């Protein structure tokens, strides 16, 4: 048996056929009228087609001489419903078949020149039983059922003729498929343009039914018993949380009882039985899941300690969260009545909550996390790199000691009541802050004084430290400085003017690029730190033959006349902004979506071919209007291959992106696996951008996009 979808086809032909039958028109016989009026002659007969059991009429002359009418196949009719010289009528026997009709007369046989045809209206008179169960035998009674090629049950479940258990003109018997649903019965002649006849009443197909579901509430992982009727029809049971249990996984299965194991992550909800028909049978009430009961001790404790949880059904607990939303660790060896849970280091004072795999939440008590207590420190003043001893309670919880100036000291020996810490270089006079495991901060009651003879910083004259150029540090007592060390642990080797109020120092060319601090050493051996500043600038163009685009007109660049595909940029040449000559400048104040920044796939802009293992991609970038947090990132297209080059600028504390003037950004091509080993000079080149929020490009300036050999 197979499911089919009945297509309701054009009924025009059927309607026309019925109309022809209803008019009862008569086909002309090809018999001509006898010249001798005493002989019988047939002019026409009909209607055609005609239903068996209906009245067939013959029109002619001297038809009262007809002694018999022979219908196919050799059915002799001698009893006429009417017989006159011009009209002969008879009732068509049910056994009659299509073919030529012969009228018997004393003067000889008259054979029709056209065949008799029959209308055979399929009909359903009744079906039994009115209520069936999948697998039962269904009997359909009617007429012309011998023409039926399939029986269609709700919902579009077909039983074809080969699967009928009995088939005759007046009766069809079949086995009700498991997929059948309550609804009308339809019979079809199964032709390409089918005739479909529906029953007047619905066939009721039995569904499984609930008597009880026990226990309720039920514990996850235990057995659930469903009692009812016709449960042998059930193929799946669905529990809350869309937990589907197939019949193959039932613990037991009979017509009156199903036993299943409840999955651990089952949620509250209806119990639903689904037979092969797909009709869902659900309980009136929800099946509820058992939740643990519990108590917790202690309620005041340190991070890293254990809480003891006692109660019932604690084996259902899947995870435990503490104040601050942090998750604890359930210790091995727990039982249904007791578990141990380790408090995470980052938990803060708050409610402890327990969760089952079904996301049932049971809130415990408010737990108070013990904080370290800062009693005193000694000595109260010291030089950098010397030790002080902090006294208090629960100091074993301390992870960091922070001095004024946001400088962390180095923690040495410790107990719960004593903590030794080395004063960091760069610390300033002020409050000392203890930071606990859970980030709770405890401050000293008095200030710690730094004993140091250090210069006092005032300002930097330049807004950044450019490698190879002078950086001017302004302040007082600057003649105390003996040595300056730049990021990357690079000592300064060249100085300009050095007075008590300023130091001119040449930034080492190999300084670590980015924001960093300058360490200082005085002639007295004191150490200190000058404030953070950006180190970097633009690198020189080492090999012009590796230039991709410098936005100049000529053999080694292009002026964007052909390449401004997205309309997002323009060519700029303001000498107050430019590094040299032209540059590319963004013009869209609120870009949202995807766009080309620039693109090129033509020979007017020659592109070099390089090996990615041996080369960098570099570009000079200046971002005057910061890109807001959440804006999109740029993509570079090299010979048709896209690589992510990020936001181009430097991320600020507020999450935005900008640059301290023109800087060179460098990308190591070897770190992009999508690039071919050798980047060809052909294909699409350029830069694209996608952003899901408005992005202001008017502060973007780009120049000298190039390769450089490592």
List pLDDT tens digits, range 27-84: 444 444 444 578 999 999 999 889 888 899 999 999 999 999 999 999 999 999 999 9
Element (H, E) at 17: helix 12-23
Rounded mean pLDDT of 225-239?
Answer: 97
User: Looking at the domain covering 209-282, what would its CATH class be?
Assistant: mainly beta
Q: Are 574 and 506 in contact (CB under 8 A)?
A: no
Which pLDDT band, with edges at 50, 70 and 90, does 15 fall under?
A: very low
Which pLDDT band, with edges at 50, 70 and 90, does 121 fall under?
A: confident
d(CA 103, CA 89): 12
- Residue-level pLDDT at 36: 52
- Map residue 586 onto helix, strand or coil: strand
- Residue-level pLDDT at 422: 97
**6 pLDDT higher than 80:** no
**225 pLDDT higher than 70:** yes
- Mean pLDDT is lowest, of 15-29, 93-107, 122-136, for 15-29
Rounded mean pLDDT of 293-300?
Answer: 97
Domain boundaries, the chain: 12-119, 123-205, 209-282, 293-369, 373-447, 456-535, 544-709
- Residue-level pLDDT at 496: 95
d(CA 668, CA 525): 41
Assigned CATH topology for domain 544-709: Jelly Rolls (2.60.120)
d(CA 337, CA 358): 19
**207 pLDDT higher than 80:** yes
Q: Provide the whole-model pTM.
A: 0.59
**586 pLDDT higher than 60:** yes
Rounded mean pLDDT of 663-686?
Answer: 94
d(CA 379, CA 373): 18
- Residue-level pLDDT at 118: 85
Domain range 456-535, its CATH number among 3.40.50.720, 3.30.360.10, 3.40.50.300, 2.60.40.10? 2.60.40.10
- Residue-level pLDDT at 554: 63
Rounded mean pLDDT of 352-361?
Answer: 93
Element (H, E) at 563: none
d(CA 287, CA 267): 8
Tell me what the pLDDT averaged over the chain comes to: 91
> What is the CATH architecture of 373-447?
Sandwich (2.60)
d(CA 250, CA 235): 10
CATH superfamily of 123-205: Immunoglobulins (2.60.40.10)
Rounded mean pLDDT of 144-162?
Answer: 94
- Residue-level pLDDT at 688: 96
Rounded mean pLDDT of 663-674?
Answer: 95
Which pLDDT band, with edges at 50, 70 and 90, does 556 fall under?
A: low
CATH code, 12-119: 2.60.40.10
**23 pLDDT higher than 70:** no
Which pLDDT band, with edges at 50, 70 and 90, does 18 fall under?
A: very low
Q: Which has the higher per-residue pLDDT, 34 or 430?
A: 430
> What is the CATH architecture of 293-369?
Sandwich (2.60)
Percent of the chain with pLDDT over 70: 94
- Map residue 395 onto helix, strand or coil: helix
Q: Which has the higher per-residue pLDDT, 501 or 553?
A: 501
């Amino acid at each position: 048996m197979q499911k089919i979808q009945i297509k309701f086809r054009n009924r025009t032909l059927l309607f026309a056929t019925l109309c022809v039958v209803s008019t009862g028109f008569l086909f002309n016989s090809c018999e001509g009228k006898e010249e001798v009026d005493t002989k019988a002659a047939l002019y026409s007969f009909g209607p055609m087609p005609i239903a068996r059991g209906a009245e067939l009429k013959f029109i002619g002359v001297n038809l009262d001489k007809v002694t018999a009418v022979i219908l196919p196949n050799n059915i002799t009719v001698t009893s006429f419903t009417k017989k006159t010289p011009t009209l002969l009528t008879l009732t068509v026997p049910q056994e009659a078949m299509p073919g030529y009709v012969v009228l018997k007369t004393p003067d000889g046989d008259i054979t029709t020149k056209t065949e008799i045809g029959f209308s055979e209206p399929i009909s359903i008179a009744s079906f039994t039983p009115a209520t069936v169960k999948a697998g039962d035998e269904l009997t359909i009674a009617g007429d012309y059922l011998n023409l039926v090629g399939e029986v269609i049950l709700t919902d579009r479940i077909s039983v074809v003729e080969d699967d009928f258990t009995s088939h005759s003109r007046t009766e069809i018997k079949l086995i009700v498929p498991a997929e059948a649903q309550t609804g009308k019965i339809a019979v079809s002649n199964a032709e390409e343009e089918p005739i479909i006849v529906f029953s007047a009443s619905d066939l009721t197909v039995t569904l499984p039914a609930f008597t009880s579901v026990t226990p309720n509430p039920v514990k996850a992982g235990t057995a659930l018993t469903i009692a009812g009727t016709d449960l042998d029809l059930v193929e799946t049971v669905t529990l809350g949380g869309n937990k589907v249990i197939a019949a193959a996984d039932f613990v037991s299965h009979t017509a009156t009882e199903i036993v299943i194991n409840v999955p651990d992550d089952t949620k509250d909800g209806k119990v639903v039985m689904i037979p092969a028909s797909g009709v869902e049978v659900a309980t009136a009430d929800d099946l509820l899941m058992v939740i643990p009961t519990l108590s917790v001790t202690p309620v005041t404790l340190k991070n890293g300690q254990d809480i003891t949880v006692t109660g019932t059904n604690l084996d259902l607990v899947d995870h435990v969260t503490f104040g601050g939303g942090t998750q604890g660790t359930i210790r091995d060896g727990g039982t249904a009545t007791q578990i141990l849970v380790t408090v995470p280091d980052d938990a803060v004072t708050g409610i402890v909550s327990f969760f089952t795999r079904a996301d049932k939440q049971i809130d415990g008590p408010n737990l108070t996390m013990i904080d370290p207590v800062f009693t005193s420190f000694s000595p109260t003043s010291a030089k950098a790199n010397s030790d002080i001893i902090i006294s208090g309670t629960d100091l074993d919880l301390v992870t960091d000691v922070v001095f004024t100036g946001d400088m962390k000291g180095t923690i040495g020996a410790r107990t719960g009541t004593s903590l030794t810490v080395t004063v960091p270089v760069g610390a300033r006079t002020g409050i000392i802050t203890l930071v606990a495991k859970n980030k709770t901060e405890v401050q000293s009651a008095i200030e710690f004084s730094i004993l140091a003879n250090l210069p006092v910083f005032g300002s930097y004259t330049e807004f950044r430290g450019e490698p190879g150029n002078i950086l001017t540090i302004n302040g007082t007592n600057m003649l105390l400085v003996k040595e300056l060390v730049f990021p990357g642990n690079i000592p300064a080797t060249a100085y300009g003017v050095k007075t008590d109020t300023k130091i001119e120092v040449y930034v080492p060319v190999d300084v670590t690029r980015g924001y960093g601090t300058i360490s200082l050493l005085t002639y007295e051996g004191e150490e200190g730190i000058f404030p953070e500043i950006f180190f970097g600038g633009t690198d020189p163009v080492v090999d012009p033959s590796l230039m991709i685009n410098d936005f100049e007109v000529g053999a080694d660049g292009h002026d964007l006349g052909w390449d401004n595909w997205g309309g997002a940029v323009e060519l700029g040449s303001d000498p107050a902004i430019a590094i040299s000559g032209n540059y590319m400048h963004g013009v869209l104040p609120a870009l949202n979506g995807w766009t080309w920044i620039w693109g090129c796939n033509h020979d007017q802009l020659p592109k070099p071919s390089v090996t990615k293992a041996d080369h960098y991609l570099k570009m000079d970038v200046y971002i005057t209007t910061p890109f807001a947090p959440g804006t999109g990132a740029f993509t570079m297209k090299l010979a048709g291959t896209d690589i992510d080059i990020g936001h181009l600028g430097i991320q600020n504390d507020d999450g935005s992106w900008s640059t301290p003037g023109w800087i060179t950004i460098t990308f190591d091509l070897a770190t992009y696996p999508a690039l071919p080993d050798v980047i060809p000079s052909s294909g699409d080149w350029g830069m694209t951008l996608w952003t899901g929020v408005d992005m202001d490009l008017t502060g973007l300036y780009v120049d000298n996009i190039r390769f450089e050999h490592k």
